[in-house]
Each structure stands twice: as C-alpha cells, then as structure tokens.
C-alpha cells in the first residue's frame, strides 16, 4: 500500500487553545505526506500541503464530518479515507504502521478502523473478551454500536463510506443536526453489519484536546482518555 491509497481530511473548529498547527505538524512528522483537505468552522487554519475549505455558514460537528467524507469520495480515488479531528498527535512511524495495518484488513467487512481507543470503548471490549489489558492488534466493538465514543481518527474503506452516506436513517439524523458524530457513525456502520475496529496500541493521542474541547467548556470527559497510548506503533 502507498500514500495514494489513503486520502486525509481534518475537521477543525474554535477551541480555547488552538490545536490544528501542532496536530498537522505531528501528522507530517509521523510520515504522512499527502495533501490534507481541511474543513473549517469559524477558524482560519493555515498549513503547507493543505487544501482549506472554510464553511460559510458554519456546518458544525456531524455535517462538517459528512462534508469531509463526501469530498474525499468525490475528489480522490483512494481506497481508504481517514477523517481526523484537529486535536490528535501521532506515534512515531505511524504512517508506515497504518499502511501495514490496512493491507491486512478486509475492506468488505470493515466499517472503520479507529486509531484511538478511549476508555468507554476499551472497557466494553475488555469485559466482552475477559481480557485486561487488551493484547496488541485489532479489536471489534461492533456489539457496542451506537455507544462507541471517540471519532478522533477514523479510517473508512471507500465502500463503507459510500453505504454510510447513502443510508436513509443516517442522512435523516444528519439533517436534524445530530450532535454526536461518533455515536451516529458507529451506530450506522454497526447496523449495516460492518466491523468497528480499534487498534491497540493507539496510533494517535488526544492530549491536545484534554480540557480543550470545541463542544463544551468543560473539555474532555475522563472516559475519552485512553489506557492504550505508548507513543510507538
């Protein structure tokens, strides 16, 4: 697999502390050299190698995520679509590790590969598998479905992105401005019979977003943190 097989988008919005610059720098340092499509609400990000779309009027959470996904489908031929939030930092050598991971996955049965595993999801998988800590590898949380938290870094096969965006219930919920994109995306893909895979260890960290959420003044809730970050792939 090469960089051409993976298209990348970042959604960004105002925060108490700006995170986009550091997150983009970490992405590049991790080995991702693709053009990055950026979809911005109420902010004006700058970055070399980026194509910036400033939403006017702002779209907010789920609609901005959908726009990012739709644009990657329409404007690239990539077989995998990675949609990131603007507050993740990357493990060393993450690009090479991710390319290896994607080569091992079946795109016909995968809804997404999440590169972040928050405590809400890891505890569910631990209970289901009777394992703690979870071993290195991919873990399916499809039985959790619409209760999965944490859309920091989703990588979707092209076909999964297509069926997601075409799903009638999903489209209806997007139009009513459903707030929690992680719950809606996860619930829909699970309902469609696809796997929700979580990587151990995580390839991204969420430290930039801690107590710095774009959605609430209270910042990140404790269960959005992870036990599975090492900084190495």
What topology is assigned to 3-224 in CATH?
A: Spore Coat Polysaccharide Biosynthesis Protein SpsA; Chain A (3.90.550)
Q: Which of 37-41, 101-105, 145-149, 173-177 has the lowest mean pLDDT?
A: 173-177
Mean pLDDT value across residues 41-70: 95
| Nearest residue to 40 (alpha-carbon basis) of 173, 221, 204, 19 | 19
Give the pLDDT confidence of 22-50 residue by residue, as tens digits: 999 999 999 999 999 999 999 999 999 99
* Beta strands per DSSP E along 159-225: 195-200, 204-205
How far is the C-alpha of 32 from the C-alpha of 58, rounded, in Å? 28
pLDDT of residue 100: 97
Q: pTM (2 decimals)?
A: 0.94
């Amino acid at each position: 697999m090469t960089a051409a097989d993976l298209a990348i988008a970042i959604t960004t919005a105002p925060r108490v502390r700006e995170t986009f610059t550091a997150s983009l720098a970490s992405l590049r340092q991790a080995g991702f050299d693709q053009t990055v499509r950026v979809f911005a609400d109420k902010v004006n990000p700058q970055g070399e190698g980026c194509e910036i779309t400033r939403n006017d009027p702002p779209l907010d959470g789920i609609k901005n995520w959908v726009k990012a996904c739709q644009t990657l489908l329409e404007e690239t031929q990539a077989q995998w679509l990675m949609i990131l939030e603007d507050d993740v930092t990357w493990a060393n050598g993450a690009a090479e590790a991710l390319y290896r991971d994607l080569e091992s996955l079946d795109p016909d049965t995968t809804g997404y590969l999440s590169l972040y595993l928050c405590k809400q999801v890891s505890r569910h998988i631990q209970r289901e598998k009777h394992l703690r800590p979870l071993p290195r590898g991919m873990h399916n949380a499809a039985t959790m479905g619409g209760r999965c938290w944490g859309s920091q870094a989703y990588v979707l096969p092209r076909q999964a992105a297509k069926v997601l965006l075409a799903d009638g219930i999903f489209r209806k919920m997007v139009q009513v401005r459903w707030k929690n994109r992680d719950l809606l995306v996860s619930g829909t893909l699970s309902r469609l019979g696809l796997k929700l895979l979580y990587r151990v260890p995580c390839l991204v960290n969420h430290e930039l977003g801690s107590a710095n959420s774009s959605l609430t003044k209270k910042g990140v809730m404790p269960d959005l943190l992870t036990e599975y970050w090492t900084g190495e792939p």
